[in-house]
Amino acid sequence: MNVVVLLGAPGAGKGTQAPLLAACLGIPVVATGDLFRAAVRDGTPLGLEARRFMDAGRLVPDEITVQLLLERLARPDADAGVILDGFPRTAVQAAALDVALTERGAKVCAAVLVDVPGEELVRRMSGRWICRANGHPYHEALSQPRTAGICDLDGSELYQRADDQPDTIRARMDQQLGALREVIDHYRAAGSLRTVDGLQPIVAVASAINEQLAAAGICGAAAPGSAAEA
């Protein structure tokens, strides 16, 4: 079983790379947020337990999150492995995941960090603008409107939300990156950390991830120099 952890700060491009990697490896992406929502929707015992914490505005305990992941790993489509996106978020969670996987005769085969400098992350995340009428999204660098400040679809004014302001993003990132560094250190110590340059174009990042996984012996990953890099 190939358990791959996809690491990166918000804005690094994990959400873009995860489905590309899943298609290459033939294994599903597992995001803890999706697991929580599905378990709550279906009214499973773990879902009801998680909901108590979610409704109270508290973090779901690590043991519940890990149990949800293990239930997901038991499904037939995960026989060959999974890509974990959004978990673990802390070193404590990483250690708990290691123990749980070891008990199942599995392990994290590779933890791939999509590495992007902090100021580039701020630029990516602070470039978003929204139209007032219907919330159509734009981005200063990636998806500009035809007329500056005006929505192409309904002609309404574009504005930037408070949580997309650069100072707000930097403050939020300061909190998140500390925990991410601990997780990175955990997998570096375990010898499973692989790093790719997230400043490259999307296709180049995907190719670099596949190269790193092939070097780590992950089944299904494209070996360096293969057609997948073309």
pLDDT (tens digit, 9 = 90+) per residue, 99-149? Answer: 989 988 889 999 999 999 988 988 888 888 999 999 999 998 878 999 999
Q: Examine residue 56 and state whether it is found in any structural domain, yes or no.
A: no
Q: What is the largest CA-CA distance in the chain?
A: 58
Q: Examine residue 177 and state whether it is found in any structural domain, yes or no.
A: yes
Distance CA 48, CA 111 (A): 30
Q: Examine residue 216 and state whether it is found in any structural domain, yes or no.
A: yes
Q: Examine residue 14 and state whether it is found in any structural domain, yes or no.
A: yes
Q: Domain of 184: which CATH number?
A: 3.40.50.300
Q: Please state whether beta strands 128-131 and 158-159 pair in parallel, antiparallel, or not at all (unpaired).
A: antiparallel
- Asked whether the whole model's pTM tops 0.85, one would answer no
pLDDT, position 230: 30
Retrieve residue 134's tokens.
């219907």
Q: Examine residue 89 and state whether it is found in any structural domain, yes or no.
A: yes
Q: Which residues are designated catalytic?
A: 14, 89, 128, 161, 172
pLDDT tier, 188 (very low <50, low <70, confident <90, very high otherwise): very high
The answer to whether the CB of 75 falls within 8 A of the CB of 68 is: no
The answer to whether the CB of 86 falls within 8 A of the CB of 69 is: no
The answer to whether the CB of 46 falls within 8 A of the CB of 39 is: yes
Number of domains in the chain: 1
The answer to whether residue 177 scores a pLDDT higher than 60 is yes
Query: What domain range includes position 204?
Result: 2-27+80-129+164-229
The answer to whether the CB of 168 falls within 8 A of the CB of 159 is: no
47: number of Cβ within 10 Å: 19
Nearest to 29 by CA among 65, 69, 61: 69
Q: Examine residue 75 and state whether it is found in any structural domain, yes or no.
A: no
Q: Read off φ and ψ for residue 12, nearest 5 degrees.
A: -75, -20
Q: Examine residue 101 and state whether it is found in any structural domain, yes or no.
A: yes
Burial of 81 (0-12, 13-18, 19+ CB in 10 A): buried
Q: Examine residue 63 and state whether it is found in any structural domain, yes or no.
A: no
Q: What mean pLDDT is predicted for residues 162-181?
A: 85
